[in-house]
Amino acid sequence: MKDSNINPIGVFDSGLGGLSVWLELVRLMPNEDIIYFADSGNCPYGNRSKEEIIDLSIRNTEFLLRKGAKIIVVACNTATAAAIKILRKKFDVPFIGMEPAVKPAAKQTKTQHIGVLATKGTLESERFQETKNEYAKGVTVHMQIGEGLVEIVENQQINERSTLILLQQYLQPMLAHHVDKIVLGCTHYPFLRPVFDKLLPQNVDLVNPAPAVARQTLRQLERFELQTKNIIEPKYEFYTSGNEEILESFLKYIQAK
C-alpha cells in the first residue's frame, strides 16, 4: 500500500456549492478522509475573467496539496471550464472536474428540449460549447444564466420569497419550450431543490451531475491505487476564505437534511 493512500481527497469550489458534491463523495466512500475548501471570500466566480478563475483555482489547489490531498475534485463547473486543463498540466495529482450533465439529459429527453441553468462563465466557455455540440445533436438546449443564485445559496436565503420569484423568472422560458430535463450546471443549485420542487411540473426532472462525479472519483482512486484501507471513522475538514460561521451554519443545515 502506498503511503499516500491514507491521505485525504481534496475538494474545492468557489464557495459552499461544492458541498453538494462532498455529500455524494461521503455517501459513496464513507471511509475516505476529505478536505473541503470553500473560496467564499472570492465568490462568485461566474462573472470573473478566465485568468482570474485560473489564478484562484491554482491557489485553491496549492492549499489542498499543502494539506496532503492525494486527488483533487474541482467541485465547481465554472472553475473546471476555465482551469482544469491548466491544473492538470501544472500539478502531478489526478483531477476530477465537473461539467453540466448535457449528455444524460440529451439522451433521456422525450420532448427534445432540455434546459441548462449555469453561470455565465460556464455557459460562455469553450468547454461547454464543445460538450453541447458533441452530445446534444438533434436536441434544442435552452440556456439560462442563473444570475444571483450562487449568492442566494452563499447567504442562505434559499427559502425566501424573492428566491422563488427569481427562479420562476429563469425557469419560465424553458418551460414554455416544453423542456423535460433541466441540467443543474452549477454545484450551488442542488441546494435550491426545495424551490425547484415548488415550481416544476411533475414531468420535468432535474439533472445533477454530483453522483456521477463521485463515481468518477472512486474510479480514479481505484485506477491509481489510492483508495484508503481505513476502517476507523473518517476525518472531514472544512476551510473557507470567507466567513467561518456561515460555513458552520451551512454544514449544520445540510447535515440535518
The residues that are catalytic are 76, 186
> C-alpha grid cell for residue 12?
474545492
Neighbour count for residue 250 (Cβ, 10 Å)? 21
Q: What is d(CA 174, CA 58) in angstroms, rounded to the nearest whole number?
A: 35
Encode 139-153: b = buried (16+ Cβ within 10 Å), e = exposed.
bebbbbbbeebbebb
Please tell me the count of residues contacting ligand DGL according to CB under 6 A: 17
Q: Which stretch binds ligand DGL (CB under 6 A): 99-107, 136-144, 185-193, 197-205?
A: 185-193
Q: Binding to ligand DGL by residue 123, rule CB under 6 A? A: no
Nearer to ligand DGL, 87 or 226 (CB): 87
> C-alpha grid cell for residue 181?
430535463
| String marking each residue 43-62 x if it binds ligand DGL according to CB under 6 A | xxxx----------------
Structure letter (DSSP) for residue 224: T
> C-alpha grid cell for residue 208?
445533477
- Candidates 57, 109, 119, 228; binder of ligand DGL (CB under 6 A) is 119
| String marking each residue 85-114 x if it binds ligand DGL according to CB under 6 A | ------------------------------
Within residues 5-44, the interface with ligand DGL by CB under 6 A covers: 13-15, 17, 43-44
The contacts of residue 51 (CB under 8 Å, 6+ apart) are: none
Q: What is d(CA 9, CA 22) in angstroms, rounded to the nearest whole number?
A: 10
Site residues for ligand DGL per CB under 6 A: 13-15, 17, 43-46, 76-78, 119, 122, 150, 186-188
